[in-house]
């Protein structure tokens, strides 16, 4: 048996009859863009997350761009974020001609070190963008306090953390604005690209709602310069079905994480931890090892899939290799050399976990 990194087929099989019926309904209707399934899914998201505004869009990357556009982010503005994330988080900042300013990470959680943020604030800072990396919420209370103190909005990048809780509240409901991705491999994944934006603020909410459809509220009247970032009805209908299983699947991820931790207890790797006031949904189960590259090569030889999220800190990426994007973040550099994500998906069995653990033990 070949072990996969994730198993999307198992999710589909579990919900096949409901998903197939939802797709068939749309094929019958032939209404593909922003139809009733989109508003229904948006309402489901509002209920599930307890937010006032939830809007589907075309991807997680677009969601981040829409949130930044809602703040009128422009040339020369600065955005404080983490350099240890998927490139999309800062790509959109740079696309809008603003400057990403990097706060180093906390080596225990891989999230933005909140103690590093305040010193980076200048008169040009327009937003703080924490990422709930691997599925665990960033230190939102501390970040919101800094945001309030300097009147700077906080945008949550929750692309890896749908359903994760922070002090009893779901992520996406805490920041001034929030974004997520429904990319197929995310813990709530569509059958193609999709994303969402969230806020409790009416001004930001209405702006994002219309920015995603060419800045237009009334047909052929354009109040703002927007983009085309609509959510397909097909994706919305599929996501609405999958959302009903999200909590069950997230809990199962947590159980698998515990199995991994037990198995790796006396092995010379650092397993991920979760702070006691929040939940972790383990979009990735990411360990640290001083001999990461050799361990990864060994696991691949044994047929165990594994991946590095992320090998290059964003300030070292060729696209951002400009003096204006540079940063000093030693914890990020170290993490990029040591992290290794193991197979993780809700339908993973105990035997699967044992296979991975055994292969790691063989290496040591
Ligand atoms: C996946 C991801 C994105 C981008 O989402 P897409 O839907 O692929 O555009 C942004 N931020 C983070 C942290 C991600 O993991």
In a domain, residue 237? The reply is yes
DSSP 8-state code for residue 245 = T
| Atom number, ligand 1, closest to the C-alpha of residue 182 | 7
* Residue of 26, 49, 22, 24 whose CA lies nearest to 199: 49
| Atom number, ligand 1, closest to the C-alpha of residue 181 | 7
Cα(326) to ligand 1 centroid in Å equals 22
- Specify whether 158 is located in the same domain as 236: yes
Q: What pLDDT digit, counting tens, does each position of 157-194 carry?
A: 999 999 999 999 999 999 999 999 999 999 999 999 99
Single residue among 194, 215, 243 that ends a domain in this structure: 243
Single residue among 226, 243, 260 that ends a domain in this structure: 243
- Specify whether 186 is located in the same domain as 281: no
Question: For residue 35, what pLDDT is reported?
Answer: 87
Q: Looking at residue 359, which CATH number applies to its domain? A: 3.90.1150.10
- Specify whether 34 is located in the same domain as 125: yes
Q: What residues of the chain score a pLDDT lower than 70?
A: 1, 321
- Specify whether 227 is located in the same domain as 269: no
Cα(314) to ligand 1 centroid in Å equals 14
Question: For residue 219, what pLDDT is reported?
Answer: 87
Structure token pair of residue 343: 């197979």
Count the domains in the chain: 2
- Specify whether 263 is located in the same domain as 347: yes
- pTM attached to this predicted model: 0.97
Going by C-beta distance under 8 Å and a sequence separation of 6 or more, which residues neighbour residue 145?
Answer: none
Question: For residue 1, what pLDDT is reported?
Answer: 62
Question: For residue 143, what pLDDT is reported?
Answer: 98
Q: Looking at residue 206, which CATH number applies to its domain? A: 3.40.640.10
Q: Tell me the chain's radius of gyration from C-alpha atoms.
A: 20
Cα(92) to ligand 1 centroid in Å equals 11
- Specify whether 193 is located in the same domain as 268: no
State the Cα–Cα distance between residues 147 and 167, nearest whole angstrom. 18
Q: Hey, how many other C-beta atoms are within 10 angstroms of the C-beta on 99?
A: 19
Residue 219 contacts residue 17 (beta carbons within 8 Å)? no
Q: Which residues span the domain enclosing 298?
A: 246-306+343-363
Cis-peptide into 310, omega within 30 deg: yes
| Atom number, ligand 1, closest to the C-alpha of residue 193 | 7
- Specify whether 212 is located in the same domain as 198: yes
Q: Which residues line ligand 1 (CB under 6 A)?
A: 59-61, 85-86, 88-89, 131, 157, 159-160, 181, 183, 193, 195
């Amino acid at each position: 048996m070949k072990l996969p990194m994730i198993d999307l087929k198992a999710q589909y099989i579990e919900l096949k009859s409901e998903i197939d019926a939802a797709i068939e309904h749309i094929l019958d209707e032939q209404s593909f863009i922003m139809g009733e399934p989109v508003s229904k899914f948006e309402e489901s998201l509002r209920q599930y997350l307890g937010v006032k505004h939830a809007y589907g869009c075309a991807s997680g990357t677009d969601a981040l761009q829409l949130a930044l556009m809602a703040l009128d982010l422009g040339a020369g503005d600065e955005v404080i974020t983490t350099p240890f994330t998927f490139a999309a988080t800062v790509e959109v900042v740079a696309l809008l001609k603003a400057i990403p300013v990097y706060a180093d990470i906390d080596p225990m959680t891989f999230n933005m070190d909140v103690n590093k943020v305040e010193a980076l604030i200048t008169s040009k800072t327009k937003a703080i963008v924490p990422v709930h990396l691997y599925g665990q919420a960033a230190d939102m209370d501390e970040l919101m306090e800094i945001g309030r103190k300097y009147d700077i909005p906080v945008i949550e990048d929750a692309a890896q953390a749908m359903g994760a809780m922070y002090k009893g509240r779901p992520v996406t409901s805490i920041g001034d604005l929030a974004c997520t991705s429904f990319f197929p491999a995310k813990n709530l994944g569509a059958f193609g690209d999709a994303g969402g934006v969230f806020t409790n603020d009416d001004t930001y909410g209405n702006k994002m709602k219309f920015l995603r459809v060419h800045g237009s509220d009334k047909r052929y009247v354009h109040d703002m310069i927007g983009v085309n970032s609509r959510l397909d009805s097909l994706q919305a209908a599929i996501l609405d079905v999958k959302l009903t299983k999200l909590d069950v699947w997230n809990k199962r991820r947590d159980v698998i994480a515990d199995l991994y931790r037990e198995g790796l207890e006396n092995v010379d790797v650092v397993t991920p931890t979760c702070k006691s006031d929040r939940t972790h949904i383990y979009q990735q189960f990411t360990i640290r090892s001083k001999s990461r590259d050799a361990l990864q090569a060994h696991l691949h030889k044994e047929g165990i899939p594994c991946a590095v999220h992320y090998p290059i800190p964003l300030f070292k990426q060729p696209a951002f290799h400009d003096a204006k994007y540079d940063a000093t973040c030693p914890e990020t550099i170290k993490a990029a050399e040591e992290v290794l994500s193991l197979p993780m998906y809700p339908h993973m069995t105990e035997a699967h976990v044992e296979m991975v653990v055994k292969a790691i033990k063989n290496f040591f």
